[in-house]
Amino acid sequence: MKINKLLTVLNDIAPFETAESWDNVGLIVGDSNEEVKGITVTLDVTLEVIDEVVEQGHNTIIAHHPILFSKRQNITNDYESQIIKKLIKHDIQLIALHTNLDKFNQGVSHMMMKQLNIDSTEVLSKETKDYYKLRIFVPNESVRDVESKLSSYGIGSQGNYDECFYKLQGEGQFRPTAEANPHIGKAGELTTVNEVVIETMVNDIPKEKIEAIVHEIHPYEEPVFDLYRLNKQEDYGIGIIHEFENGKGIEEFVQDVKIAFNLPFIDVVASSNSVKKIALIGGSGSPYFDVCRQNGVDTLLTGDIKYHEAQYAEQIGLNVLDIKHYSESFFKGYFKTYLEEQLTRLDKYDQSNHFIEIKESLINTNPFKVL
């Protein structure tokens, strides 16, 4: 298996395009044409993790936390530069799955639920996706040609389907001026044409590009079309919700979380003693405090809560359990197993090659110690 094939599998699991705009996911360091010689799954990429990968004879890292968030002007001898140089020196390919994985069904929030031995299918904050609705008026004899050309640009594709068009028969009318060069009709004469209105959704193509495509493929000198910007709610997003049938006290719930995540302590904002409806967000969930309250959530389990953020949570009556960022290390075992299952189920192994070993990193990359 080559890296580009592995990237296809990972994109099937958590499409890279769904990552936040500030994020850095996909192949960060490496060559997409390299053969995969073993995969190590890790939370963070450190020099020690790279040593571990080299010792195992692997050449591919899948990390939850990326490197190279900001645009670099140079590679020198700072810590991030040392990581990059060491990856290149040992010909190791680095792939990151971050906020794109957070948003999907087997993402970190769902892994947290499994760790707590509870389940949920309700997303806390669903993603919305912008798209354009295109309505284009075409003479009867040109309909199939226009549909085919639209499809060649990816217009009319929805998920696993293409050429998704709705058509409505009608009658168009126009009078060309003396300066016109009409495809149908003559200058100065009122012309009536049997036309079809083609409607379709357009994803991931800028407005200016769509307009240029319509002018290019349409038989008329002055094509008639409408373009509406709309959005739709997706079935994925940040965080998930669980509601306890009988509720719990805050101290009881904290003890459950400490045991589940093997934590010696937890920073808690105890705004109330009642834990009934909880939300789980991998990473830092502070931007979603208000979303939690709007969804009737009384308790949020997340990480990296700052002092003033904690004060705000208390003001709005939200319990918050800060389990810190490294608590996401359980991601390694869950994702290793899930990736093995997906590769097998999707028949993505190249049977002519040897079996690709997948291991979770055993390196503790948590910079904090409890003294």
Handedness of CA 292, 295, 297, 301 (dihedral sign): negative
Tokens for 369, please give them: 């110690």
Q: Taking a C-beta distance cutoff of 8 angstroms, is the pair 362, 52 a contact?
A: yes
pLDDT for the residue 347: 59
pLDDT for the residue 149: 95
**Confidence band, pLDDT 50/70/90 cuts, at residue 62:** very high
- Measured between alpha carbons, how far is 190 from 321 in angstroms, rounded to an integer? 72
More confident residue, 257 or 107: 257
**Confidence band, pLDDT 50/70/90 cuts, at residue 351:** low
- Does the pLDDT value for residue 338 go beyond 50? yes
Mean pLDDT of 100-121: 87
Which class for 79: exposed (0-12), middle (13-18), buried (19 or more C-beta within 10 A)?
exposed
**Confidence band, pLDDT 50/70/90 cuts, at residue 39:** very high
pLDDT for the residue 101: 92
The tens digit of pLDDT for each residue in 71-90 reads: 788 999 999 999 999 999 99
What are the Cα distances from residue 140, in Å, to 143, 144, 190, 274?
A: 6, 9, 18, 65
- Does the pLDDT value for residue 28 go beyond 80? yes
Report the DSSP pairing between strands 191-202 and 39-42: unpaired
Tokens for 250, please give them: 């805050």
Mean pLDDT of 328-347: 84
pLDDT for the residue 353: 46
Kindly state the percentage of the chain with pLDDT values over 70: 97
The identity of residue 203, as a single letter, is: N
pLDDT for the residue 352: 44
- Measured between alpha carbons, how far is 334 from 27 in angstroms, rounded to an integer? 21
pLDDT for the residue 350: 52
Only one residue has tokens 């990326």, namely 66
- Measured between alpha carbons, how far is 6 from 231 in angstroms, rounded to an integer? 31
Q: Mean pLDDT across the chain, nearest whole number? A: 91
pLDDT for the residue 196: 95
pLDDT for the residue 160: 80
Q: Taking a C-beta distance cutoff of 8 angstroms, is the pair 272, 265 a contact?
A: no
The tens digit of pLDDT for each residue in 174-224 reads: 888 988 888 888 888 898 989 999 999 998 899 999 999 999 999 998 899
pTM, rounded to two decimals: 0.81
